[in-house]
């Protein structure tokens, strides 16, 4: 076996390859790619320009070429495909599975895409046109049309014949989907059952109709991911509103959905507004970061304005200012923690929703405990360092209130965002920090005004 240990792209390999490319040394290029898997060639291409990448791909067999382009991430591919002619694109797309073909067409300028669709093989064309109707974030946009379909009235032999016919179009499948005469999904037959059953048996007699989970075309990609994860499915049939089988989604597409979701959430949590990577341009990186930094700046300027209202107190007792960072940092940390726990439970639904009040009561209990603990520590330290000044008590009292309020806001914000259809993870980032900074400051200075 040609054992494939995960390929590591060394800088030596890259430099060597670059040299071969510069010299247009086709033999050297092909030799160095000989033992490299398509998925790894994709990774390699990220290191080269579109023109260079195309030069390499044109040397490879067209199936490998299609596979490599399929693996590229969407942004890179969009840029890369610009160096291709419509005729070349057509050849490529004819080789792809329908779901990948539709994705690729979506990345082309509309004029090119129309031209390519016109040139496609008729069968591919009709499949692709059917898929292009769907938004890319729903089951219809994730599914592929290639699947093995059998009528319930067929025998196992007929089924195997159908597999033989389709085997070239559907390289990977784990089950045959069984439909009735009007194309309505009835159930599935696992491949191993076909192998083990007498060839004259009717499909309807070995049909597994229990536990066949299907999804509808309009279901969101997140829901599809949840369903496949929950029921441990390697592929799921997609039906339209009439219950007719229209496609299938495989687990590898869903793995991508899950990974993208995690990535998106990380970006929301860290205040990055665009899908940006370290090796994107300086300008793109700057642009992705500015919006939330600006929100922070606005918050900071409002804090400055607000503290200005207490100029007299500050002038009288400078030490008031010393504890502003303490109050704000704690408010921020508590807020993020609380919102993150809520975001997590919103992302793993399924259990009976606790009522809002029960939820808040619990959050407040946790906050009460944390608040008591933290303010006692701070009080102890302050009494030790600064002696029994009124300010020591005020700081701890304000800290306690900040923990309570920040928990409350941290819990409520994602719930509200979720209710209004926004991604609740938005509430785990600079948004909640900025709100809690202002909140903390307000509580602190109001306590001072009331008690000092």
CB of 66 to a copy of itself, least distance (A): 14
| Distance from C-alpha of 260 to C-alpha of 249, rounded to nearest angstrom | 17
Residue placing its CB nearer to a copy of itself in the complex, 134 or 323: 323
Residue placing its CB nearer to a copy of itself in the complex, 112 or 389: 389
| Distance from C-alpha of 152 to C-alpha of 207, rounded to nearest angstrom | 8
CB of 78 to a copy of itself, least distance (A): 18
CB of 421 to a copy of itself, least distance (A): 19
CB of 148 to a copy of itself, least distance (A): 9
* Token duo for residue 163: 């597999």
| Distance from C-alpha of 153 to C-alpha of 449, rounded to nearest angstrom | 83
Residue placing its CB nearer to a copy of itself in the complex, 110 or 312: 312
Q: Report the DSSP beta bridge partners of residue 179.
A: 151, 185
Q: In 120-166, which residue ranges form alpha helices assigned H by DSSP?
A: 122-132, 139-142, 156-166
Instruction: Identify the three-state secondary structure at position 254.
Output: helix
| Distance from C-alpha of 423 to C-alpha of 438, rounded to nearest angstrom | 23
CB of 200 to a copy of itself, least distance (A): 16
Residue placing its CB nearer to a copy of itself in the complex, 111 or 182: 182
| Distance from C-alpha of 294 to C-alpha of 17, rounded to nearest angstrom | 44
Cβ atoms of 409 and 436 within 8 Å: the answer is yes
| Distance from C-alpha of 237 to C-alpha of 245, rounded to nearest angstrom | 7
The dihedral through the CA atoms of 257, 250, 33, 60 has a sign that is negative
Residue placing its CB nearer to a copy of itself in the complex, 326 or 404: 326
CB of 54 to a copy of itself, least distance (A): 19
Of the CA atoms within 13 Å of residue 409, those in its CB half-sphere come to 24
Residue placing its CB nearer to a copy of itself in the complex, 7 or 119: 7
CB of 80 to a copy of itself, least distance (A): 15
Instruction: Identify the three-state secondary structure at position 395.
Output: helix
Residue placing its CB nearer to a copy of itself in the complex, 88 or 180: 180
């Amino acid at each position: 076996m040609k054992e494939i240990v995960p390929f590591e792209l060394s800088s030596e390999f890259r430099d060597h390859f670059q040299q071969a490319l510069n010299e247009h040394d086709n033999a050297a290029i092909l030799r160095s790619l000989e033992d490299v898997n398509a998925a790894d060639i994709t990774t390699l291409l990220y290191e080269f320009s579109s023109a260079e990448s195309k030069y390499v791909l044109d040397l490879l067999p067209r199936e490998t070429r299609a596979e490599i382009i399929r693996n590229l991430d969407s942004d890179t591919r969009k840029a890369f495909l610009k160096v291709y002619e419509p005729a070349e694109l057509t050849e490529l797309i004819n080789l792809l599975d329908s779901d990948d073909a539709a994705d690729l067409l979506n990345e082309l300028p509309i004029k090119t895409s129309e031209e390519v669709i016109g040139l496609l093989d008729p069968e591919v064309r009709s499949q692709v046109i059917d898929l292009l109707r769907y938004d890319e974030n729903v089951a219809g946009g994730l599914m592929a049309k290639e699947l093995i379909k059998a009528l319930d009235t067929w025998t196992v032999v007929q089924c195997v014949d159908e597999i033989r016919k389709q085997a070239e179009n559907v390289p990977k499948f784990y089950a045959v989907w069984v439909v009735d005469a009007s194309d309505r999904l009835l159930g599935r037959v696992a491949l191993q059952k076909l192998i083990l059953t007498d060839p004259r048996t009717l499909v309807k007699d070995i049909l597994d109709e229990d536990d066949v989970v299907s999804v509808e075309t309009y279901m969101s990609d997140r829901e599809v991911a949840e369903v496949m994860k929950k029921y441990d499915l390697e592929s799921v049939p997609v039906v339209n509103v009439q219950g007719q089988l229209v496609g299938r989604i495989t687990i590898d597409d869903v793995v991508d959905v899950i990974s993208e979701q995690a990535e998106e959430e990380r970006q929301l949590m860290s205040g990055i507004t665009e899908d940006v990577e370290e090796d994107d341009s300086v300008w793109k990186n700057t642009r992705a970061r500015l919006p939330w930094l600006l929100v922070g700046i606005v918050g900071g300027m409002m804090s400055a304005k607000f503290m200005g209202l207490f100029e007299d107190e500050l002038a009288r007792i400078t030490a008031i200012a010393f504890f502003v960072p303490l109050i704000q940092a704690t408010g921020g940390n508590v807020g993020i923690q609380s919102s993150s726990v809520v975001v997590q439970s919103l992302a793993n639904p399924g259990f009976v929703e606790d009522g809002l009040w029960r939820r808040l009561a619990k959050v407040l209990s946790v906050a009460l405990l944390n608040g008591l603990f933290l303010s006692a520590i701070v009080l102890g330290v302050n009494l030790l360092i600064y002696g029994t000044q009124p300010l020591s008590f005020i700081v701890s009292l304000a800290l306690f209130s900040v923990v309570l309020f920040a928990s409350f806001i941290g819990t409520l914000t994602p719930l509200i965002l979720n209710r209004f259809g926004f991604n609740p993870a938005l509430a785990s980032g600079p948004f909640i920090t900025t709100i809690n900074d202002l909140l903390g400051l307000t509580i602190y200075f109001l306590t001072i005004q009331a008690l000092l």
